[in-house]
Every structure is written in C-alpha cells, then in structure tokens.
Structure 1
C-alpha cells in the first residue's frame, strides 16, 4: 500500500533537487514524496544554469497551476510542503482546497502582509533592482546568496550550498509579490478565510533575511478570520537556508511531528 503522498515545492534560486534529502527522509518515514520542478525547469542544476531562459517570465499563477495539475493527477490528496515562494504557492493551493495539509516554510509575503524590512528589500534587490528583469530570469552571485540564504552559515557552508543548488529563477514572482498590496487582483492573493481547507503550518527562521520573522508573523495574522488550523513554529537563529543547510533534519523532524499530530486529530 502506497504511503501518504507529499509534494515539495521549492522557491526562487534553488533547484528542485535541493529537496532530495527531504525526499529520502519522508520516504523512510512511510510517505510517498515527490519534488517536481517549476514549469519548464530543466532537470538538473547544471542544465538550469546553462539554460536560464527556460523559466523566464513565469508568474505566480503559472507556477500554482503547474502544481495544481500535478496534485490533481494523484490518487490521494497530498501533504504540500513549500519553501520561500514555494511556501506562497503552498498557501495558494491549500486555500484553493488542494492537499490535506500544508507547510509553508519562510513563505514569501502574500497580499495583505505589510512589513517590508530593509534586509528583505536587500535580499530581493537582485531581481527587483532592474524593472527590465520582469520578464527575465535572474541568478544570484555567491555574495548575494550568502546574504539572502547563508547569513547564519560559515562562508564555506554557504559556498557549498550555492555551488550545489543555486540556479537562475524568474523575477516576475518577486514583482508580483512586491506590488500585491497595490493591486486589486494580485496573483499573490491567498484565500486565507477558507474554513474547509486542510491544516497549515507556517515555519519561520528568526534570522532570515529573505523572509524575516516579522513577515511570517504578519502572514499568520492574515488567517485570523478562519477557524481552520493555522500554526506557526520558529527556528531560532536560522536563516533562509534552513531547508538545505546542516540543520535541515531538525526542521523536517518538527514538521513530521506536526503532521502526525494533525492526522491523529482527524
């Protein structure tokens, strides 16, 4: 009998294969995990770096629709786990009724979230700094990756992660999220009032530059009008790299405990 399916969704600037340790971990715990790439994402880090235009101009709705189709093809509603913009996509999918539980790790800000700390602006600058990037794919430098992802890591570990997983990504989602509160019909809007959705766990790294803790706390407040389960857990002293750095297993283990609690309460 197949285990509970899990769909992992990565964020900007990381390749889908960065979830490989999580896939092994969840499979060993009896789940049936997959980590599909974003639409048109090449199958390897090397191919993605060699063909950056493959993912250029992809929007939040493009990415959400891509994963919705993957989920619809499954026999059983999955757990959906996303990081960064993958967390925002997870929130959209759960709000639309997909999946039986969701985990949004350091999720990009949705419409309605107002805090925009300076560190977050700086981390987004590689994409947002040039309006012409809207339809382009953008890559981080090693220094930019260190600030946005590896600020709580040694230079050596940050470089190792950059070399292993960093890829060019579309800048359009950054622009869509940044302008969300100025647009009536923003693609960064999530149905936070859905009472019938599965439980949702928000995860924050308290030293995250890319999605600061205050941003995730503000995201939690957007769910105040729903009686559906919405929880927040924090990993103190952790940055945006918390899904791929030396401490990833601590994050995965706490998520697994939370998931089992939800299923025990069903």
Structure 2
C-alpha cells in the first residue's frame, strides 16, 4: 500500500465502526502474504489493515528487481512505524504478526497499543534464551556475513526450502518461493542475535504491562526458523503477566510457511477464534 492508500484505508476503517485488525508480516515476505487472511477477517466482521514495513514495494516482482529498498530497516524503526499507524485508528486493533512480525506484535502489545494480539512463530525478544541449531542454520544466509547488517539479503530456493517450506512438498515449496519470497533487511536478524548481550536492544518487550491485553502464541510443530523451544520460551515469559490472558498452541505438521502454505486457513481460523473471544 502507498502512503495515500494507507491513509484512505484508515479513514475507511474508522468510518466503518468495525473492529480493526492490523497484520504485520515478517522477513522475506510482503503485505500481500496476508491477503487471504484479510478476506477471512473481513468476512467475519472485522476491518483489516495490511500495511507494509517502510518502503515495501507493492509486488514481489518489484521487490526482487529493487532489493536495495529493504536495506537499513531496524526492529525499532518498524515497530515505530506500526505504532504510528495504530495511533491513527479510532479503536485499539487486534494485531496479528508472523515471524519478525510476531516480535513486533509483542512489542506493540507491551506498549498497550493492541486490544488482543496473535504472534505466529515469533522471532525471539530479549530474554528468550534458547539457541536451536535449526534457527542458527536458518539465519546463516544473513548472519554468516557481517556486511549483511546494512544490506538487503535474498534467500536462494534451497535456503527458503529449509527456513520456510520444509514441511510441504517440493512442488508447493517452489510455488511458495516464486509467489512470496522477497529480499529482507539483515539488521533485524543481527539485532535479535545479540539482543541478550545488549540491555538497550530494540527487541525488548514489556511483557508485564497490565495493559498488554490477551496474547496467543502459535507455533508450527516442524518450524526450523522459530521452533517450539523459542515460542515456548516467549510464552513462559509472557504468562507472568497476571493481568492478561496468555495462551500458546502448536499446529501439528507445520513449518515457518504456515501463514502462506496450503494449510493457512487452519492457522487463520485459530487466530480468528482467539481474537473473537476478546475483540
């Protein structure tokens, strides 16, 4: 969405009186990865908003032709961008995020900006300690070269297959790669990698804020990038919030592509059922 399209969409949402839902994508994807989800939530009576990260191109083709536009995006910058958009909504929205979008979802919730939140295979925040080998392998295309901190980094098909599409067949994996995969900024991965050594890390989450609101964490059983150990560690920290509901669910047989692969509807329905309870 362009700036003017986002402004128009926010005006439409505010005028509609429907409860808003903001979707936050993660690395190597675009807002279009949420299109089917937005349709499901709209049909259920919600007003979806699918903004991108700053400077996101509109299409996968444009993104792959101009990868440089992704470079230099930090977790703090993206969280601030979504906080500003949420501040223009007349009602606190539900916020749903995947991967680094799941981390940003929790940052926004910790600021008291969301009515209810769903974090799907979320990137770890400061204080989440496990370092699964599969996560390190998934991040190697970026973290393997320190110069990638300031670059936009694409994934090869083989890298995407391991990090995203390991739980689907070869034909579907190739289709997902062609349809959705785009370059991503390296900086957020470096920020997450050193977060527990940096007290001022932009990946900090205020999990104890009584205004955090209900939170559901969703984990794909076969996720290489954010396996159960990471999502469950986040849940254990978040559940210490005595003022808000905190729940976790594991989706059997699913990898990191669970929001875009052929089983996306099961995940969307799980998120929708949780949102409906509180929003």
TM-score relative to the length of structure 1: 0.97
Q: Deviations over 1:112-170 (max 9, x none)?
A: 11111111000001111100000000000111100001000001101101100110010
Give me the whole-angstrom Cα distance separating, in 1, the residues matched to 2:96 and 2:238: 18
Partner of 2:273: 257
Please state whether the residue corresponding to 2:238 is helix, strand or coil: coil
Distance 1:186 1:17 in 2: 29
Q: Which is worse superposed, 244-253 or 193-202?
A: 193-202
Q: Secondary structure at the match of 2:97?
A: strand
State yes or no: 1:31 paired with 2:46: yes
Residue 258 (structure 2) pairs with residue 239 (structure 1): no
**1:203 maps onto 2:218 in alignment:** yes
CA contact (8 A) 2:21 2:95 kept: yes
Runs of 4+ in 1 over 4 A off after TM superposition: none
Partner of 1:124: 139
Cross-structure match for 2:234: 219
Which of 74, 78, 83 is equivalent to 1:68? 83
Give the CA deviation at 1:20. Answer: 0.5
In the alignment, does 2:57 pair up with 1:57? no
> Does the aligned pair in 1 maintain the 2:23–2:96 contact within 8 Å?
yes
How far 1:257 sits from its partner (Å)? 1.1
Unaligned runs of 5+ in 2: 1-15
Aligned to 2:11: none
Q: 1:224 offset after TM fit, Å? A: 3.7
| SS of corresponding position for 1:33 | strand
- Does 1:142 find its partner at 2:142? no
CA distance in 2, matches of 1:76, 1:262: 14
Which residue of 2 is the match for residue 186 of structure 1? 201
Distance 2:55 2:81 in 1: 10
Shift of residue 70, structure 1, vs aligned partner: 0.9
TM-score, normalised with respect to structure 2 = 0.92
Q: Does 1:164 align with 2:162?
A: no
- What CA RMSD, in Å, does the superposition of the two structures yield over aligned residues? 0.9
Secondary structure at 2:36 match in 1: helix
- Is the counterpart of residue 11 in structure 1 residue 29 in structure 2? no
**Separation in 2 of the partners of 1:211 and 1:15?**
19
The equivalent of 1:40 in structure 2 is 55
1:154 to 165, 169, 188: 169
Counterpart-to-counterpart distance in 2, 1:259 and 1:59: 28
- CA distance in 2 between partners of 1:17 and 1:150 (Å): 18
Asked if the contact 2:239–2:245 (Cα under 8 Å) also holds between the matched residues in 1, the reply is no
The structure 2 residue matched to 1:176, chosen from 184, 191, 203, is 191
User: Any idea what SS the aligned residue of 1:114 has?
Assistant: coil
Shift of 1:45: 1.1
The Cα offsets for residues 4-63 of structure 1, whole Å up to 9 and x where unpaired, read as 111100000011101110011111111110111101111111111111111201100000
Post-superposition shift, 1:2? 3.2
* 1:182 to partner: Cα distance: 0.5
In the alignment, what sits opposite 2:5? none
The answer to whether the 8 A contact 2:101-2:119 is kept is yes
In structure 1, the gaps of 5 or more residues are: none
